Amino acid sequence: MRLPELRVMGVDPGLTRCGLGAVEGRPGARLSLVAVGVVRTPPDADLGVRLVAIEAEIERWLDELRPDSVAVERVFAQHNTRTVMGTAQASAVAILCAARRGLPVTLHTPSEVKAAITGSGTADKKQVGTMVTRLLRLESMPKPADAADALALAICHVWRGGVQNRLAEALAKAQSARPPRGVRQ
């Protein structure tokens, strides 16, 4: 059975730069670039204003691109608490926007994405950008790195998350079709 193409929007959350990228494809087949960009907010602006700007742009992308699912980088602990908080807040905005539309959201860790894209969970940003460029057959590496990271998230999800989600859905359907234990038909 050939899997259908999946359109995934990846979000590399951040308050100053929030990477957005969308790809289309299926596991084992060529992927294609749908869109890539970055939402920028001024570091000296009020937090609420910055979050509203991120929300507006994510909403616009979701309206225009109509992805099947959204992949967001899982926030991980860093030494800089302020950075972690901003990343978590931008991440929550992306999750909220997708949830409003009933879109499935999957969180992927940075090392999971790096391993999916480069084969190494410890790859650096340049290695990830280089592989994203090759996989999508782009003429140049997406800039800034947040844009390439968003595409890497989307690619990772097509290759890993999409298959896992479809398997989970198929299992849930199969289990719901079975009569409860102890019930004879």
Q: Which residues are catalytic?
A: 12, 73, 146
Residue whose structure tokens are 């999409």: 162
Is the C-alpha dihedral spanning 94, 143, 163, 120 positive or negative? negative
Helix axes 145-156 and 125-135, enclosed angle (nearest 10): 60
With beta carbons less than 8 A apart as the criterion, state whether 73 and 110 touch. Answer: yes
| Burial group, residue 7, by CB count within 10 angstroms (0-12, 13-18, 19+) | middle
Q: 10 Å Cβ neighbour count for 185?
A: 4
* Token reading at 21: 């990228």
E strand map for 13-94? 17-25, 32-40, 69-73
* Token reading at 42: 């001024």
